[in-house]
């Protein structure tokens, strides 16, 4: 049952129809405690609709969204009380100061103390800007105010729609590091939708891919992916001084699959398992072929994404 307790957000056959069009179709997935999950999909796949249904901004045609076991449909207040969210760009009352804006949300949730507000503001680095009107804020500052707003009530899940939109590289990195920190330290689950694949790749521990409103693929990425027992095949690029001879050594070995050779760079791409590679390198040394580099060829998330979604329209 510990599995069940760890699940913070659960979507069960969530469907949204508008007229005859099905925007989201029987979508199911889960987000567990401490996990950062990326929601990926081409344009119009239904990412934003899904996120809006999770936070109750849009009603669903059928299905169920549970947050800590509470239904967003039948017990909205209880379910949403544990959610912090930014839906698209965080919009504020621009004629008020940052602090006044946060006070608005504090009045709506009685448990938030002024100390907690100050603490969150400090964490996002906006302490000096609190008395300035939001209209004078940069986009990055607004994003951070958005994060502060979403974290004030110590939610168990943070839902972010395009969180790095409009941030500069430093801001993106800061945001990413920050999300990782709160996911690890406070055990907050994070669901992020983004169209920046590289960003998702660096930030998330798992991705859920949807297309035309349907679940397509689910994949662990980054550190979580290295749980291999040495039995998995991978591609590797080997740079040597004598390409032809190195290639000859491959002949007749089934465990070493030749992929391609690049004569300009003297590189050889092969596909094999851990042990086979080690043996091959011994072999190369025995034949006095110098090995300059051995690099694993990783398929980027973008490549994989295109395979999952059939390669049509990139997000």
Partner 1 sequence: MYSFLQLTTNEWLKLAKKRGFFIAFLIILLMPLGIAVVVKSFLEGTELGYVEFMQSVIDINGGGTLYLFLCMIYTASLVSGEHQLGTIKLLLIRPHSRSKILASKYAALLVFNIVLLLFALIVSFIICIVFFGMQGEGSMIDVWKTVLYTSVNTVMYTSIVFMLSVLTKSTGATIGIALCLVFVSDLAVLLLAKYEFAKYLLFFNLDLRMYEEGGVPLMKGMTLGFSITVLAAYLIAILATSFYVFKKRDVA
Binding window for partner 1 (CB under 8 A); candidates: 105-113, 235-243, 267-275, 280-288: 105-113
Q: Does 76 bind partner 1 (CB under 8 A)?
A: yes
Query: Residue 258 is encoded by which pair of tokens?
Result: 């030749």
**CB of residue 64 to partner 1, shortest distance in Å:** 18
Q: Does 95 bind partner 1 (CB under 8 A)?
A: yes
Tokens 């980054």 sit on residue: 222
**CB of residue 76 to partner 1, shortest distance in Å:** 7
Task: Give the residue from 210, 223, 152 showing the smallest Cα distance to 182.
Answer: 152
Let me know if 294 is exposed, middle or buried by CB neighbors in 10 A (0-12, 13-18, 19+).
middle
Among 19, 110, 223, 230, binds partner 1 (CB under 8 A): 110
Binding window for partner 1 (CB under 8 A); candidates: 75-83, 163-171, 197-205, 270-278: 75-83
C-alpha of 138 from chain center: 25
* Helix 98-108 and helix 114-123, axial crossing angle in degrees, nearest 10: 130
Among 15, 71, 105, 180, binds partner 1 (CB under 8 A): 105
Task: Give the residue from 51, 29, 56 showing the smallest Cα distance to 208.
Answer: 29
Window 113 to 142, contacts with partner 1 (CB under 8 A): none
User: Measured over all CA atoms, what is the biggest interatomic distance in the chain, rounded to whole angstroms?
Assistant: 76
In the three-class reduction of DSSP (H, G, I as helix; E, B as strand; rest coil), residue 234 is classed as: strand
As separate numbers, helices (DSSP H) first and strands (DSSP E) second, the chain gives 11, 14
Q: Does 233 bind partner 1 (CB under 8 A)?
A: no
Among 28, 57, 303, 310, binds partner 1 (CB under 8 A): 57
Alpha helices per DSSP H over 207-263: 243-248
Rounded to 5 degrees, what angle do the CA atoms 283, 284, 289 make?
150
d(CA 59, CA 71) in angstroms, rounded, equals 12
Binding window for partner 1 (CB under 8 A); candidates: 97-105, 195-203, 239-247, 265-273: 97-105
d(CA 243, CA 272) in angstroms, rounded, equals 18
**CB of residue 246 to partner 1, shortest distance in Å:** 59
Q: Does 56 bind partner 1 (CB under 8 A)?
A: yes
Among 77, 185, 227, 231, binds partner 1 (CB under 8 A): 77
Q: Does 163 bind partner 1 (CB under 8 A)?
A: no
**CB of residue 166 to partner 1, shortest distance in Å:** 14
Q: Does 303 bind partner 1 (CB under 8 A)?
A: no
**CB of residue 190 to partner 1, shortest distance in Å:** 16
Among 5, 13, 28, 59, binds partner 1 (CB under 8 A): 59
Task: Give the residue from 147, 162, 158 showing the smallest Cα distance to 31.
Answer: 158
Q: Does 215 bind partner 1 (CB under 8 A)?
A: no
d(CA 71, CA 62) in angstroms, rounded, equals 13
By CB under 8 A, name the binding residues for partner 1. 52, 55-59, 76-78, 80-81, 83, 85-96, 100, 104-105, 107-110, 149
């Amino acid at each position: 049952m510990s599995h069940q307790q760890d699940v913070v957000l659960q979507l069960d056959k969530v469907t949204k129809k508008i007229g005859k069009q099905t925007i989201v179709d029987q979508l199911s997935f889960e987000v567990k405690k401490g996990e950062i999950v990326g929601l990926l999909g081409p344009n119009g796949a239904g990412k934003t609709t899904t996120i809006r249904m999770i936070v109750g901004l849009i009603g669903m045609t059928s299905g169920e969204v549970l947050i800590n076991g509470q239904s967003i449909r039948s017990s909205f207040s209880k379910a949403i009380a544990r959610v912090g969210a930014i839906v698209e760009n965080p919009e504020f009352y621009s004629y008020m100061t940052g602090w006044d804006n946060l006070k608005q949300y504090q009045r709506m949730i009685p448990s938030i103390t002024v100390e907690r507000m100050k603490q969150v503001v400090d964490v996002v680095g906006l302490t000096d800007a609190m008395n300035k009107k939001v209209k004078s804020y940069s986009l990055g500052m607004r994003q951070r105010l958005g994060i502060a707003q979403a974290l004030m009530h110590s939610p168990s899940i943070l839902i972010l729609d395009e969180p790095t939109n409009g941030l500069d590289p430093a801001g993106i990195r800061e945001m990413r590091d920050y999300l990782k920190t709160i996911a690890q330290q406070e055990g907050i689950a994070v669901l992020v939708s983004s169209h920046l694949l590289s960003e998702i790749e660096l930030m998330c521990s798992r991705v859920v891919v949807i297309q035309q409103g349907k679940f397509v693929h689910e994949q662990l990425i980054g550190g979580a992916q290295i749980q291999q027992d040495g039995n998995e095949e991978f591609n590797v690029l080997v740079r040597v001084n004598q390409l032809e001879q190195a290639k000859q050594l491959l002949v007749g070995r089934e465990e070493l699959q030749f992929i391609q050779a690049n004569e300009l760079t003297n590189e050889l791409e092969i596909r094999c398992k851990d042990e086979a590679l080690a043996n091959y390198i011994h072999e190369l040394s025995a034949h006095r072929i110098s090995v300059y580099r051995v690099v694993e060829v990783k398929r980027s998330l973008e490549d994989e994404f295109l395979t999952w979604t059939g390669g049509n329209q990139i997000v």
